[in-house]
Amino acid sequence: MTGCGELSANKTSDRGIDSKELLELQAGIWVDPNGCDHWIIDDGLEGYLSARLDRKTGKPVCSGIAAPTQTTGEFKGGATTIIGDIF
């Protein structure tokens, strides 16, 4: 259960093997089955996903940038060179 514990309240930094600020990672977009966008980052062992929301309204962004369940962008850009991407 140690993997479930909170190490720090600061969520702006990756503290893994190749630790870095999350702002240094490249995000792509994954389109959910409903056609709405989600930010996606693959950092090798870790991954990050969050809904893409309109800054003014807070509503989901459904841009049509890709077909549902597809991704676009260089979201694997943060992958570690120590472990690499196994897929």
At 40-80, the pLDDT tens digits run 988 777 788 999 999 999 999 999 999 999 999 887 755 54
Strands 46-51 vs 20-21: parallel, antiparallel or unpaired: unpaired
| 19: pLDDT strictly greater than 80 | no
65: left (phi over 0), alpha (psi -120 to 50) or beta: alpha
Residue of 73, 82, 87 whose CA lies nearest to 25: 73
Tokens (6 digits) for 68: 């549902």
Residue 30 has pLDDT above 60, yes or no: yes
The residue among 23, 47, 49, 22 whose CA lies nearest residue 36 is 49
Structure tokens at 85: 């991407």
